[in-house]
Structure 1
Amino acid sequence: MNNHEINAKRRWSFDSVRAACIRNHLYTGGTCEEYSAMLEMVETTNPTYENLYIVACDIKEHSDGQTITNVMFILEREAVTTTFEIDGSDEI
């Protein structure tokens, strides 16, 4: 087996989280200011598990019939994109 340095890059964006919220009828109980603040956090952070939790808590608080873990699952599946680099390149 070859020895390669493999790195994963996880990203999310204002648009990807917004689209996931719309598709899943989330954040229907918040104000425009609250929604904007949550999406601004997304734009300025990486989707670590801790940040997923923070955003999911906010979304759950402003959504009906959701759990934090379900919102985290939705965000991970629908809003986070993972790309890979091998030995510093995505061209391999």
Structure 2
Amino acid sequence: MASKRYSGICSGCGKKSDKLTPYLGMLLCEECLKEVEELGIKLAKAIGKVFGVEEERAVEIYRESVKEVTKLYEKYIVDEKKDVG
């Protein structure tokens, strides 16, 4: 996902880490990141099914949205702080 890593407290589990990855509006450790990504994909598939969108397209839309929101989060929130959390 993102190439930058940050130090601080994981938004998911609350543990301190120096390998946090920005994801949507959160900084997550590797374990929480994997879990949140899996849940997000399941949600995207379910929403796609409700609106008649193919699973692959629903997941693609979800991933594009995540990239855009994460990019804004890094630019306006995280990059302004030296140590977050």
Greater RCO structure (CA 8 Å; 6+ sep): 1
Check whether TM > 0.5.
Answer: no
User: Which TM-score applies when normalising by structure 2?
Assistant: 0.41
Q: Counting strand residues as a fraction of each chain, which structure ranks higher?
A: 2
User: Which TM-score applies when normalising by structure 1?
Assistant: 0.38
